[in-house]
Amino acid sequence: MKTMRMMAVAAAAFCAAGAVQAQEPLKIGMITTLSGPGGYLGQDIRDAFQLAIDMQGGKLGGVPVQVLVEDDGLKPGQGKQISEKFMKTDKVKLLTGIVFSNVALAVVPDVLEDGGIYVSPNAGPSNLAGKECHANYYVVSWQNDSLHESAGSNANNLGYKKAFILAPNYPAGKDALEGFKRAFKGEVIGEVFTKLDQNDFAAEIAQIRAAKPDFIFQFHPGGAGIAFLRQYQQAGLLDTVPMVVPSPSMDAVTLKAIGEAAVGVNVSAQWNNDLDNAANKAFVEAWKKKYNDRPITYYASQGYDTALAIGAALKGTGGKVDDAKAFRTAMLKADFASVRGNFKFGNNQHPVQDWYSMKVVKGDGGAPIIKTMGKISSNTGDFYAKDCKL
Amino acid sequence: MTLVLEQLLNGVQLGVMLFLLAAGLTLVFGIMGVINLAHGSLYMVGAYAAALAAKMTGSFLLAIPAGLAAAALTGMAVEYLVIRHLYARDHLDQVLATFGLILFFNQMIILLFGRQPIFVQIPPFLSGAIDLGLFPYPIYRLCIIAAGLLSAAALYFLIQRTRLGMLVRAGATHREMVQALGVDIRLLYTIVFGLGALLAGFAGLMAGPLLSVQVGMGEQILIMTFVVVVIGGLGSVAGAFWGALLVGLVDTSLRAFLPQIMRGFMAGSEADALASGISAMGVYLLMALVLLIKPKGLFPGHA
């Protein structure tokens, strides 16, 4: 009797295994930064990506998918190990998730060389946007320089003429100032490189006061940016010399940390939670339902859009990723409703999209919010697209 | 001209913060002969305790005793549990053990508070800027300067005019003699270590509303503090004071004025990048220069 029952259970188990085999979900490998001070960026991308899948009933574009998530800890070497494990052990062909450009530069070229497909929800380094662009590399977020160019255009639109600009003395800081200057039409009357680990900016703030610019542009990622803004406000300058920043310097999480001190800061970004389109409303509502008070960041919107973009491509190929050419044809159609409104891929497979001007204002509930003021530019591609021969 | 004055004030403000840290470091070295790399961790403990107290009570004034007590108690516990066993060992062992303490404290803070920086609001009566006649200056920074100078005066009084101070001075120069006269040198050491921790915690809690309170904040400033101690002379509190002011002023002035000077004879962005590099090295060059002329520092503590 006992053996009979065991055999029945075993048989049932085999049948179940067979059934699972038949609808084995497509694996998507997500390498992202979940720990460290920048950990919330990866967490938002991961959770919004999963939210898009949940909203489609565990599928993307009608295809059941399973996301494998690993933390790169902002270490390029670790990211590389994870990508090798995904591709060799788990047989994953489609990868996404990387937050920081230095990790992307270590991981992406090898993934592409091994025949993989990579879709970026955040990092868009210039090296991979121009001459080195690749048929199987897609960026859904933005090319890095666009963030700072949009800030420069924002300053033009706001009517500012004399700029004082600051960024830390390291590659991304220098790119930020270059990007800003490329778009800004006025005069740069002061340019300061701060130390990368600096968090007291009294000397720089005194220089700004003496230089009397129309406004300042500053890019300081992480805790340093928040310290800068607070000290700037304490010095009484925020009321007299306005500040223009790119979106990484002012997202919903940093705003929550800074609070009132941020009121009046000008931001530019490709998305905001108050953008008036159906896709965005559905996304914001679903996020609030699942996570309540948790702030929705640009990163979350990018993770969500990345999932939708992949879903549109999978729908086009019937869930197949083995034929990279067919996948590319379907992907480049960008046949999905982006939460930022207009969206298409340029010739270098980076976005051509609209940029919005925003401002931190006092919200109805007392806590400050980021409010969309208007459009900075429409259907904007990036500076490096002209060098790409795809 | 007003810019120069404002930058001088900024330099003094950085200087007094460095002094509060350097005083403890130099006392501990001068009297106990211990190199304490974990001094920055006590600064961090003070900042976190004050941030926590400010968040829970909503009062910055209550956060001050909380930060001071947490740093001093942590300091005394560290002395009792770890440092006490290192007095007879050589400096390499001390460096290893106190480096281990840095890792321990950083991990503990990560477990308790997470990696996200914490922000402390400036109390309303200290926020904003005050017009000094020539230029407005943040009230909070002025308060830091005042608090730092007062602490320096109090420390001077304590060391030069009280019985405890006499024992501290005697302990620095004639350790065996103090012991032979029946003074409980162990207790004295614990008190001195606690005092150093208290000053570090004071610096930490004042830094909270200005900078961000985050893991590893102690290590950022510790390196500068060591430069101050070396320039001032190991074991000398007066040296720590003048050394801290010198380092604060030099660092701030280089950051503030070097770019303009370099722009006089170079292209704009090249001058900025080079000036930024040189001003980052500035205080270390100063240290090398002082060591070249006065190898024991400006105010050598004890032989």
A299-326 residue pLDDT tens: 999 999 999 999 999 999 999 999 999 9
Cα nearest neighbour of A227 on chain B: B211
Contacts of A35 in chain B (CB under 8 A): 115
> pLDDT tens for residues B195-207?
999 999 999 999 9
The band of B302, judged by pLDDT with boundaries at 50, 70 and 90, is low
Has residue B175 been placed in a domain? yes
Mark yes or no for CB contact B128/A192 under 8 Å. Answer: no
Position A11 scores a pLDDT of 55
Predicted TM-score of the model (pTM): 0.79
Out of B2, B115, B138, whose CB is closest to A235? B138
Report the distance separating Cα A214 and Cα A241, nearest Å: 6
The band of A20, judged by pLDDT with boundaries at 50, 70 and 90, is very low
Mark yes or no for CB contact B272/A234 under 8 Å. Answer: no
Phi, psi of A363, rounded to the nearest 5 degrees: -85, 175
The per-residue pLDDT of chain B, averaged, comes to: 89
- Collapsing DSSP to helix, strand or coil, A162 comes out as strand
Report the distance separating Cα A231 and Cα A238, nearest Å: 10
Position A7 scores a pLDDT of 56
Cα nearest neighbour of A35 on chain B: B115
> pLDDT tens for residues B43-59?
999 999 999 999 899 88
Position A355 scores a pLDDT of 96
Radius of gyration of chain B (CA): 20
How many C-beta neighbours within 10 Å does residue A280 have?
21
> pLDDT tens for residues A62-76?
999 999 999 998 889
Q: Is the pLDDT of residue A180 over 70?
A: yes
CA atoms A161, B253, B265, B288: torsion sign = negative
Beta carbon pairs, A and B, within 8 Å: 97
Q: Is the pLDDT of residue A377 over 80?
A: yes
Has residue B299 been placed in a domain? no
Has residue B163 been placed in a domain? yes
Determine the residue among A194, A195, A234, A297 to mutate to test chain B binding: the one whose Cβ has the most chain B Cβ atoms within 10 Å. Answer: A234
| Inter-residue contact A390 to A139 (CB < 8 Å) | no
Out of A169, A199, A235, whose CB is closest to B276? A169
Give strand pairing partners of B215: none
Position B103 scores a pLDDT of 93
Q: Is the pLDDT of residue B272 over 90?
A: no
Output b/e per residue, B218-255; b: 16+ Cβ within 10 A: bbbbbebbbbbbbbbbbbbbbbbbbbbbbbbbbbbbbb
Domain extent, residue B219, equals: 2-293
Position A23 scores a pLDDT of 64
Has residue B82 been placed in a domain? yes
Report the distance separating Cα A155 and Cα B252, nearest Å: 30
Mark yes or no for CB contact A193/B3 under 8 Å. Answer: no
Position A133 scores a pLDDT of 94
Mark yes or no for CB contact B140/A197 under 8 Å. Answer: no
The per-residue pLDDT of chain A, averaged, comes to: 90
Has residue B298 been placed in a domain? no
Mean pLDDT of A169-186: 89
With an 8 Å Cβ cutoff, the interface of chain B facing chain A consists of 2-3, 6-7, 10, 13-14, 115-117, 119, 121-122, 127-129, 135-138, 140-141, 209-212, 214, 217, 220, 252, 255-256, 259, 268-269, 272-273, 276-277, 280
Position B98 scores a pLDDT of 93
Mean pLDDT of A1-30: 63
| Inter-residue contact A203 to B254 (CB < 8 Å) | no
Has residue B300 been placed in a domain? no
The number of helices, as runs of H, and strands, as runs of E, in chain A is 12, 14
Give me A184's structure tokens.
Answer: 């800004």
Q: Is the pLDDT of residue A174 over 60?
A: yes
The one-letter amino acid code at B8 reads L
Position B237 scores a pLDDT of 87
Has residue B303 been placed in a domain? no
Place of tokens 């032979």: B180
Tell me if ipTM is over 0.85: no
Report the distance separating Cα A352 and Cα A343, nearest Å: 6
Q: Which of A309, A328, A308, A304 is nearest to A317 (CA)?
A: A328
Position A5 scores a pLDDT of 63
Position A19 scores a pLDDT of 45
Please tell me the distance in Å from A262's CA to the nearest CA on chain B.
13
Q: For chain B, what is the domain count?
A: 1
The one-letter amino acid code at B242 reads W
Mark yes or no for CB contact B256/A206 under 8 Å. Answer: yes
> pLDDT tens for residues A21-60?
446 899 999 999 987 767 888 999 999 999 999 999 999 9
The band of A280, judged by pLDDT with boundaries at 50, 70 and 90, is very high
Q: Is the pLDDT of residue B247 over 60?
A: yes
Has residue B301 been placed in a domain? no
Cα nearest neighbour of A207 on chain B: B256
| Inter-residue contact A300 to A288 (CB < 8 Å) | no
Position B119 scores a pLDDT of 78
The band of B303, judged by pLDDT with boundaries at 50, 70 and 90, is very low
Mean pLDDT of B240-244: 94
Give me A307's structure tokens.
Answer: 């999932």
Mark yes or no for CB contact A223/B214 under 8 Å. Answer: yes
Out of B119, B209, B273, whose CB is closest to A169? B273
Mark yes or no for CB contact B136/A35 under 8 Å. Answer: no
Contacts of A36 in chain B (CB under 8 A): 115
Give me A176's structure tokens.
Answer: 């930020």
Report the distance separating Cα B195 and Cα B68, nearest Å: 10
How many C-beta neighbours within 10 Å does residue B93 have?
13
The band of A8, judged by pLDDT with boundaries at 50, 70 and 90, is low
Determine the residue among A197, A201, A230, A256 to mutate to test chain B binding: the one whose Cβ has the most chain B Cβ atoms within 10 Å. Answer: A230
Determine the residue among B1, B18, B119 to mutate to test chain A binding: the one whose Cβ has the most chain A Cβ atoms within 10 Å. Answer: B119
Where do the domains of chain A lie, and which CATH numbers do they carry? 13-144+276-354 (3.40.50.2300), 145-269+355-382 (3.40.50.2300)
| Percentage of chain B lying above the pLDDT 70 cut | 98
Q: Is the pLDDT of residue A16 over 60?
A: no
Position B108 scores a pLDDT of 93
Read off the CATH number of the domain in which B120 is found.
1.10.3470
| Percentage of chain B lying above the pLDDT 90 cut | 51
Cα nearest neighbour of B6 on chain A: A206
Cα A60–A66–A69 angle (5° rounding)?
A: 120
